Amino acid sequence: MFGIKSHEKKSEKIIPNPPEEDELVAYNESKRGGPCKKPGQWRLDLVGPKKSPWNLRAVRIFRRSFLKSKLYGEWPSEDIERALFVHMDTLRARYGRQTGERSFDEYRQQKVKAARKSRLQTVRTALVFGLP
């Protein structure tokens, strides 16, 4: 869905190139253009901030398309958007590996940091609610 094409390995996908800098600048100034509504041409900004104006628009387009498809029943809009923002981390990591911009060590460090953060959140929740 939305421009991520199959590759030789089934576990890896080819991530479409993010928009060029001039496209982002033009969109930020005019709010025209931006992420395309057509599947196969829709793109995320995988280099800039996750909640950039471009990505916010892309997430809204994805949400509308997801709800319109009715393939998954009714989902709250906020949940769809939140899930895509979380998935963006995976897409960014894959794009970095695909382009060679991020080393495996950087990717592994990010995973370790995320695991620590998750564990800390679990401990905090247990302390707040008195769980064992």
| pTM given for the model | 0.62
Q: Which helix (H) or strand (E) holds 14?
A: strand 13-14
Q: What is the pLDDT along the chain (132 residues), one digit of tens a residue?
A: 455 444 445 455 677 778 888 888 888 888 887 787 676 678 898 888 888 999 999 999 889 888 888 887 788 888 989 999 999 988 888 888 788 776 556 667 777 888 888 888 888 887 777 755
Query: Is residue 102 within 8 Å of residue 89, measured between CB atoms?
Result: no
Structure tokens at 81: 């958007």
Nearest-angstrom CA–CA distance, 18 and 23: 10
b/e map of 45-60 (b: 16 or more CB within 10 Å)?
A: bbbeeeebbbbbbbbe
